[in-house]
Structure 1
Amino acid sequence: MSPTVPATERTAHEARWSALLRAHGRRVTRQRLAVLDAVEPTPPAVAEAVAAGVRAELPGITVQSVYVVLSDLTESGLLRRIEVPRNPARYETRVADNHHHAVCTSCGRIEDVDCAVGHAPCLTPSDTHGMTIQIADMLYQGICADCRAASGAAPETNPTASNNPTQKDGV
């Protein structure tokens, strides 16, 4: 977390992360706190950006150590890893809901898309194969409004966009 953040906010932030780490059976370490602080303000964050943020607080940490912490925090449920085709994995702290993502295939921008229907999971599979489905992970792909404007292309008409307030930029 940036040194410009007021001490009271910094302490509250650290206390919240510490409590979550303990609740997930993890020891509270400076590395874990620094990684969580680096991921939270810029989701979804790539590992290299997280490493740069962590180095502001812990200059000696290696990129490999950041990857190990990211993996551990993902495994424990404190982070969510987002896999986007032809892009590096990204991480976010928004894990307590069943939201999805829209990615611009031109610039790579990723936006959260809240669940489109009632409760988790949002999608009902045609066959569960005997599984109890807990999460539906959906990736919408399209061209964002900024990239469409930059290319001079007219906005695409999407008949479901006007009926679905959770869609962003027509994707």
Structure 2
Amino acid sequence: MDRTGGSRSATDRAADLRAGGLRATAGRVAALAYIDEHPHVSASDVYQALREELPSTSPQAVHNIVQDLHQRGMLRRTDLPGSAGARYETRTGDNHHHVQCVVCGRVEDVDCVVGHAPCLTPSDSHDMRVFVTDVTFRGICRSCEQTEPVHAAE
């Protein structure tokens, strides 16, 4: 399922949750909306964004929400090098990759580099059927490079 686009209504998100076998709680609907509009965020980022709107929520409740949504295929979880925790996004169902700035940590989507999923084939699959390849390109964004030059060897 690809759930991109911040124009989805709370009613649409609630229907998605129910279709995924989950109750449409205010926390789940709000978390989906926030992650839809702010891809590649951590559970902590979601908590910080929602705590005014949902003052009774807790960091653990938000962690449980993103885990539930990930387990139901409604969120994609990505563990990026140098990140304090997993990042979540609503873009699911494809085999896209990421590019990450090593200075500011900004993360952007990169469509599959070549061919069909998975984009890369291992030299030895050890008798496993490979169905996804996670690739993270790491570099430096223009904004960071202007203020803090980083050499390619780093």
TM-score by length of 2: 0.84
Indicate the residue corresponding to 2:125 in structure 1: 128
**1:101 has 2:98 as partner:** yes
How far apart in 2 are the matches of 1:152 and 1:68?
A: 39
Task: Say whether the 8 Å CA contact 2:102–2:140 is kept in structure 1.
Answer: yes
Range that drifts further, 44-53 or 101-110 = 44-53
**1:58 has 2:54 as partner:** yes
Of residues 130, 142, 145, the one that matches 1:145 is 142
CA offset at residue 153 of structure 1? 7.1
Runs (4+) of structure 1 exceeding 6 A deviation are: none
Q: Which runs of 5+ in 2 are unaligned?
A: 1-6
Of residues 1, 13, 32, the one that matches 1:36 is 32
TM-score by length of 1: 0.76
How far apart in 1 are the matches of 2:12 and 2:70?
A: 17
CA offset at residue 15 of structure 1? 2.6
Label 1:153 to 1:130 Cα distance change in 2 as closer, same or farther (>3 A).
Answer: closer
How far apart in 1 are the matches of 2:149 and 2:60?
A: 42
RMSD between aligned alpha carbons?
Answer: 1.9
Task: Say whether the 8 Å CA contact 2:36–2:90 is kept in structure 1.
Answer: yes
Of residues 20, 37, 41, the one that matches 2:16 is 20
Range that drifts further, 40-49 or 17-26 = 17-26
Label 1:150 to 1:57 Cα distance change in 2 as closer, same or farther (>3 A).
Answer: same
How far apart in 1 are the matches of 2:111 and 2:149?
A: 29
Indicate the residue corresponding to 1:45 in structure 2: 41
How far apart in 2 are the matches of 1:92 and 1:151?
A: 28
Q: What SS class does the counterpart of residue 31 from structure 2 fall into? A: helix
Q: What SS class does the counterpart of residue 122 from structure 1 fall into? A: coil
CA offset at residue 16 of structure 1? 2.2
Count, aligned residues: 145
Tell me which of the two structures has the higher relative contact order, counting C-alpha pairs closer than 8 angstroms and 6 or more residues apart.
2
